[in-house]
Amino acid sequence: MELSDSQEAVTQLNVPGPALAFQNISYFVPITKSFFSKEVEEKEILRDVSGIMKPGMNAILGPTGSGKTSLLDVLAGWKDPKGLRSGQIFMDGKSANSQFHLCSAYIVQEDILMGTLTVRENLQFSASLRLPQSRNREAEKQLKVNAVIQELGLQECADTKIGTEFLRGVSGGEKKRCSIGMELITAPSLIFLDEPTTGLDANTANSIMQLLHQLSRKGRTVIFSIHQPRYSIFRLLDHLTLMNKGEIIYAGPAEESTGYFNSIGYQCEAFNNPLDFFLDVIVGEIMQSQPSPELALVRESDSHSSSCSDKNPLPVYYHKSHYYEQLQEELENLQSFKSHLSDAVPTKATYATSFFRQLYVVSNRNVKNILRNPQTSIGQLLLGTFFSILVGLIFYQVPATLPEAFQNRLGAFFFLVINQVFGNLSAVELFINERKLFIHESSRGYYRTSAYFLAKVFADLIPNRIIPLLMFSAISYFMMGLKQDAGSFFLYVLSLSLTNLAAVSMAFLVSASVSTFAIANVLIALPFVFMMVFGGFLVNLNSMLSWLSWIKWISIFHYGMNALTINELTGAVFHLNSSMVPGEVYLQQQGINYSTWGLWENEVALLCLSLVFLFFAYIQLLRVNRWK
Ligand SMILES: Nc1ncnc2c1ncn2[C@@H]1O[C@H](COP(=O)(O)OP(=O)(O)OP(=O)(O)O)[C@@H](O)[C@H]1O
């Protein structure tokens, strides 16, 4: 019973692939001359390329920088449409709408997987989010995962972790198979792969290509770019597109490619790998043996044409070949077919699962990730414990006699706030660490940005901020011997928590805005220093730099210090010689409003700052550029 279900799941993975046609594609990228110059030049990286890729193995080959990846990205719908100056893409004769990339699979060159999860868990993650909730109950999703593991030959390593920089995991080939599996879960009929063999040894590369060949033989359209493949790989190809400098120099059956090159005067020696031979021809290492009179004529007549490259005769020959003529005919037929057929109603990209399901699955992965990679959480806990004991020892049982009673308490609060703000700089890692993974998954429709954002924020706040903070507060409060009542302790914890939350939220905002730690560190440290200096405690802003006094209204230090001071000094009585001095005297002297609202306005301000930072962090995540 189990076996037949699993076989059925394998069969469900076999979906006949479409024919993908593209016509007159020209793509430009902007090139900025220098960092300081606003002048932008445009570079044409695809020049008037056309072709048809049918079910089977379709390879795009060319020397480095020839435009293979760019063509693949444009076809797969992952390249910024702003650069597309001309051209159309059809899938089975229908215009490919802007959402079609979500129905196909794109396996990028770099394997983007969660390293702390096993192969099976990664595949389950894909299945949980990308298969519809209602139709696929958990058991069915499990069957599909098993089917993919079976189809990709991943049984041996299914329960091995992918691996991180600290953890040795599966091999490069297995990682690539897992990346392919993440996409196969949705049973795509059209699969794009960018250089699937790069970084793999010859045998592993061979086995990956064998796997793609098997997938193509089940009816899928497999389109991939490739770099220097072996002859054994060449034999697996059905269709070959050769590119140079953004132009196509051959597109046709792979088995006829050497014959075509012979016909234009380039002889492939026996025993030479045809793919190496083509690359040598393109880069000019193999010269034309004897251009036939017709070819010389072709070149001559076309040297006046503006559509083809002046220097390189290969695109000229190709444009005059019967392969190109045949292609044009097919594309014309497609046009007339298209005029009979109304264009497909664009399939709207919708998520397969609900927001709460996404929140649950992503949170679940985050928890596993933290438990298996607990360095940050343990570090924060140790740091919190260390600093709480340090502050407790320095300010051990603060005296109630003046003047040191005020001075020591303020010193302690300043230390505490600094610790909460600067001790949480690790929060800038949050979105930078997983930026590639987030871009990869969110653009492929795994989850909404909002679900990812909330899951990440909570997975960071609970283990890395809240738990260490509770430990920190309890140790420091009782070692310092502050006011001994439950309400004051509660307000102390609340003030530190909100100070912590505001600082961490600001770090999240920076983390969502930039992609490198170096820039993030500068961007977070600078405002914190300004907030500290201009918080109203270190510099008297009325006597100097008054034009910067507004900073205190957005200073986490200002609100955090005020809240802690009001909470501790209100209602407390201190001794000066034999007289009693209420804490309010100091607050009055400093012009601090110590009414009930005076205390709570600081808590509310910290909460508002946190919400504003979190809101903008979310907006920044939404704005992350997903185009390649
Ligand atoms: N966003 C971009 N900005 C500037 N130049 C670009 C951009 N994208 C591509 N190019 C340029 O376009 C050309 C083709 O790039 P592409 O990555 O498609 O080549 P490729 O054949 O895949 O190369 P490789 O095998 O090295 O990956 C290169 O010269 C590249 O520098």
Please write the tens of the pLDDT for every residue from 219-253.
Answer: 899 999 998 788 888 999 999 999 999 999 999 99
Q: Give the range among 9-23, 103-117, 336-350 with minimum mean pLDDT.
A: 336-350
Helix, strand, coil shares, percent, the chain, to 5: 55, 15, 30
Atom of ligand 1 nearest to the CA of 194: 22
Q: What's the CA gap between 141 and 21, in Å, rounded? A: 33
Measured by CA distance, the residue closest to atom 18 of ligand 1 is 67
CB of 65 within 6 A of ligand 1: the answer is: yes
Closest CA to 200 of 192, 209, 212: 209
Residue 2's pLDDT band, with cuts at 50, 70 and 90, is very low
Burial, 129: exposed, middle or buried (Cβ in 10 Å; 0-12, 13-18, 19+)?
A: buried
| The pLDDT of residue 534 | 81
Measured by CA distance, the residue closest to atom 9 of ligand 1 is 70
| Mean pLDDT, range 451-480, rounded to an integer | 94
Measured by CA distance, the residue closest to atom 5 of ligand 1 is 29
CB of 445 within 6 A of ligand 1: the answer is: no
Ligand 1 centroid–CA 27 distance in Å is 11
Ligand 1 centroid–CA 55 distance in Å is 26
ipTM above 0.95, yes or no: yes
Ligand 1 centroid–CA 94 distance in Å is 28
Domains of the chain: 15-104+189-340 (3.40.50.300), 113-187 (no CATH), 355-623 (no CATH)
What is the DSSP code string of 178-219?
HHHHHHHTT--SEEEEESTTTTS-HHHHHHHHHHHHHHHHTT
Ligand 1 centroid–CA 121 distance in Å is 34
| Mean pLDDT, range 184-210, rounded to an integer | 89
| The pLDDT of residue 285 | 81
CB of 344 within 6 A of ligand 1: the answer is: no
Asked if pLDDT for residue 494 goes beyond 70, the answer is yes
Asked if pLDDT for residue 306 goes beyond 70, the answer is no
DSSP, collapsed to helix, strand or coil, labels residue 493 as helix
Query: CB–CB of 210/38 below 8 Å?
Result: no
| The pLDDT of residue 44 | 92
Most trustworthy range by pLDDT among 5-14, 108-117, 306-315, 575-584: 108-117
Q: What is the pLDDT of residues 341-368, one digit of tens each?
A: 444 444 455 788 999 999 999 999 999 9
| The pLDDT of residue 298 | 56
Provide CB contacts within 8 A for 8, sequence distance 6+. Answer: 143
The pair of structure tokens assigned to 229 is 């493949």
Q: What's the CA gap between 400 and 576, in Å, rounded? A: 9
Query: CB–CB of 60/225 below 8 Å?
Result: yes
Which is it for strands 56-61 and 221-226: parallel, antiparallel or unpaired?
A: parallel
CB of 50 within 6 A of ligand 1: the answer is: no
Residue type, 419: N
* Alpha carbon separation from 432 to 381, 508, 514 (Å, rounded): 22, 9, 7
Closest CA to 517 of 624, 420, 436, 431: 431
Q: What's the CA gap between 98 and 74, in Å, rounded? A: 11
| The pLDDT of residue 347 | 47
Most trustworthy range by pLDDT among 42-51, 91-100, 309-318, 336-345: 42-51
Q: Give the range among 328-332, 457-461, 496-500, 617-621 with minimum mean pLDDT.
A: 328-332
* Alpha carbon separation from 290 to 102, 263, 423 (Å, rounded): 48, 10, 73
Q: What is the pLDDT of residues 111-137, one digit of tens each?
A: 999 999 999 999 999 999 998 876 657
Residue 544's pLDDT band, with cuts at 50, 70 and 90, is low
Q: What is the pLDDT of residues 78-89, one digit of tens each?
A: 888 888 888 888
CB of 418 within 6 A of ligand 1: the answer is: no
Mutate-to-test residue for ligand 1 from 44, 68, 109, highest number of ligand atoms within 8 A of CB: 68
Ligand 1 centroid–CA 31 distance in Å is 12
Ligand 1 centroid–CA 195 distance in Å is 13
